[in-house]
Amino acid sequence: MDLITVIIPYFKKKKYIAKTLKSATNQSYKKIEVLIVYDETSLVDLNYIKNLVKKDKRVRLLINKKNLGAGLSRNKGIKHAKGKYISFLDADDLWKSKKIEKQLEIMKLNKFDITHTSYEIIDKYSQIIGHRNARDFKNLRSLLKSCDIGLSTVIIKKSILKKNDVFPNIKTKEDFVFWLNLLNKNKHIYAINKKLSKWRKLDNSLSSSIIQKLKDGFRVYNKFMKMNFIFSIYYLILLSLNSIIKKFYQK
């Protein structure tokens, strides 16, 4: 069996992290290592996290000396990953028990290097309030108008990642830039239309800040995709419209 590395950045998610971690360690696929990247400078939750880590020898804790943000914390996790495959899991999301097993089986059968899956949307009480269906992305243009990849659903073969394949240092949409850069290098991101993960929608999360999303959305196109001002605004409008549409049709 191949070793799978699970990377979980942690920042102020004490209410959810125990269940999130349990959903990873209770996978039917047992050969995993879990890297929790602790990103709180206050260290207020550190002892709690340390106690969780002690419960399973497959779990390791990496502590940031300063707050890096989710993207740079994932980069740190990638550098320390020993697995042949890397998977990402946010500290408030959940996996179904056969997530890795089913996803990896399809990846190996079809020789896929990167896959994402469909997923359920849950609220703060873990009640299902909607879902998203995964689709294939085989070129940059196919993803430019809408970020339709659930971060916590992705598994990627570590060997395809180059030194500069990293999450950028922005507050939101860092994963969007990561996927776009991979597609821009002719990598394909294949869909598995099985709901194997649960994404938690929290109204008070950083990702729900409209102003921050608009700022970072513009940077995605202007800074990272090297588009001029007009094209950056054009794609930002499309991205925003698609985000609104998804909210109305999330079920």
pLDDT tens for 13-60 read 999 999 999 999 999 999 999 999 999 998 999 999 999 999 999 999
Amino acid at 151: L
Express the helix, strand and coil content of the chain in percent, nearest 5 each: 40, 20, 35
Diameter of the chain by CA atoms?
53
103-117 pLDDT tens trace: 999 999 999 999 999
pLDDT band at 207 (very low <50, low <70, confident <90, very high): low
> What is the Cα–Cα distance from 239 to 236, expressed in whole angstroms?
5
CATH of 4-203, one of 3.30.200.20, 3.40.50.150, 3.90.550.10, 3.40.50.1000: 3.90.550.10
pLDDT at residue number 209: 81
With left for phi above 0 and alpha for psi between -120 and 50, is residue 73 left, alpha or beta?
A: alpha
| Residue 163 clears pLDDT 90, i.e. is over it | no
DSSP 41: T
pLDDT band at 179 (very low <50, low <70, confident <90, very high): very high
The residue extents of the domains of the chain are 4-203
Backbone angles phi, psi at 249, to 5 degrees: -115, 30
> What is the Cα–Cα distance from 32 to 87, expressed in whole angstroms?
10
